[in-house]
Amino acid sequence: MFYVVKVWGNEILKKEILYEADNDVIAMQKASAAIPDGCRATYEEVNKEDYEKAKETKKAEEAFV
């Protein structure tokens, strides 16, 4: 299963990390390890192909602006 963790600092999205884990417990442990002090994070299970397509579409839209 693939997960994406979004790291937030001062209500600003700092980064997104796509990673693979065998189950939700391991996914939570990996997400916790990726969070710097003073930040918070959210994580969710995603389909890798759909996530990458959405990210490419977002980059293309930002390039037009």
Bridge partner residues of 16 (DSSP): 6
pTM for the model: 0.78
Sign of the C-alpha dihedral computed for residues 20, 27, 37 and 56 taken in this order: positive
pLDDT digits (tens, 9 = 90+) for 36-63: 888 998 889 999 999 999 999 988 888 8
State the pLDDT at residue 36: 86
Contact, 1 vs 45, CB < 8 A? yes
- The helix/strand/coil state of 34 is coil
Average pLDDT over residues 22-29: 91
Q: Residues of the chain with pLDDT > 70: what percent?
A: 98
Contact, 2 vs 19, CB < 8 A? yes
Spans of all domains in the chain: 2-64
State the pLDDT at residue 20: 93
